[in-house]
Amino acid sequence: MDYVSYVAVVICIWVMLAISQNLVLGYAGLFSLCQGAFFGIGAYTSAIMYLNFGSNIFVSAIVGAFISSLMGIAIAMPSLRLKGDYFFIATLALQIIMFNLFVCWESVTKGPLGIYGVFRPKILGMSLNTNISYFLFALFFVFLCYYLSRRVCNASFGLTLKAIREDEVGAEAVGKNILKFKVLVFVFSAIWASLAGTLYIYFIGAVDPFAFTLEESIFILSIAIVGGMGNLRGSVLGAVVLIAIPELLKFAAMPESIAHQARNLIYGVCLILFMMFRPQGLIGEYRME
């Protein structure tokens, strides 16, 4: 039971990440590969806030979200000029720079060894030391994330994003400020990725840079794509499928390193097969071009 709720918390965290990727890619049609960087900013900021200032989880979450939304603004600003492959390379550059920052900025991030000793938070006098209680806590955030994203996407904001995705010039012609919408959706998405990072660090208790590599960003991308783009339920489904199924590999008594590579192989093959036979994902509403 403890193991099941452990997996459930992991799924919760990746649902938030997938929603954050889905907002940018599925709704706004911006191909970004830097969700892992926002995730890392959230995790590192929370860890540093906790250890240096003893701040509680909510304060760390807000500070982390603030910093990653600044990064979101920075990467969204050039999105008007950079299209397609160029924008992809720019987000890739952000991902690589952030990863190197986590590894190299040793005075703050402790370098490749990472930061240890973050304990589970106390909420309303209750300690979240069991996985089940932490799961309920994380579930609350997932619901918050899902509900707010849904509200936003069904409102005129989401409709405008879809309009921009389908026809940017057309959306501009009817008087929409494209840059404003792109920046806002990036900020919104960065906040959820950063919150997922906060949940992650308080759950695991330790953080090192290798959790936020390019591979991680590709993994988040595959959850969003397999689940279905332009549909938030798709992200939930994608996270459940792509995390729960490889977890079963653990019962096949493989060594950890082989299981890890087998998992990657599954994700890679999934991406290829979906692109060939169902590019919109399981229950997606948007077909990439």
Partner 1 sequence: MGFLQLLFNGIVTGTIFSLFAISFSIIYGTTKVFHFAHGMVFTCGAYFTFVFHVLVGMNIVPSILLSMVFTAILGMAINLIIYEPLQRRKAGPLVILVGSLGTYISLNAIVCLIFTSNVQVISAGTGSVFTLASVHITPTQVVVIGIAIVINCFLALFFMKTEAGLSIRALGEDSELAEIFGMSPRKIKYMIFAIGSALASIGATLNALDIGTVDPGVGLHALLVCFVALVVGGMENIPGAAVGGFIVGMIYHLSIWRIEAKWQQVIVFLVLLTVLLVKPEGLFKRKKGKI
> In whole angstroms, what is the distance from residue 21 CA to residue 225 CA?
9
Per CB under 8 A, the list member of 34, 57, 207, 270 interacting with partner 1 is: 270
Cα 281 from Cα 28, distance rounded (Å): 16
| Residue choice 3, 4, 100, 170 for contact with partner 1 (CB under 8 A) | 100
Minimum distance from residue 221 beta carbon to partner 1 (Å): 7
Cβ neighbour number for residue 259 with a 10 Å cutoff: 16
Smallest gap from Cβ 88 to partner 1, in A, equals 7
d(CA 248, CA 174): 51
Report the residue from 16, 142, 225, 236 that binds partner 1 according to the rule CB under 8 A: 225
Is residue 104 within the footprint of partner 1 (CB under 8 A)?
Answer: yes
Q: Which two tokens stand for residue 28?
A: 């706004």
Structure tokens at 257: 């390193």
Q: Please work out, in degrees rounded to the nearest 5, the angle formed at the alpha carbon of residue 270 by the alpha carbons of 266 and 275.
A: 160
- Determine the interface stretch with partner 1 among 7-15, 43-51, 145-153, 260-268 (rule: CB under 8 A): 260-268
Distance CA(14)–CA(37), nearest Å, equals 14
Partnered with residue 207 across adjacent β-strands are 115
Q: Bin 155: left if φ > 0, else alpha if -120 < ψ < 50, else beta.
A: beta
Q: Is 126 in the site for partner 1 (CB under 8 A)?
A: no
Among 80, 82, 178, 282, binds partner 1 (CB under 8 A): 82
Is 243 a binding residue for partner 1 by CB under 8 A? The answer is no
**Residue of 189, 194, 198, 222 interacting with partner 1 (CB under 8 A):** 222
Binding site for partner 1 (CB under 8 A): 31, 78, 81-82, 84-86, 88-90, 92-94, 96-97, 100-101, 103-104, 214-215, 218, 221-222, 225, 257-258, 261-262, 264-265, 267-272, 275-276, 279, 288-289
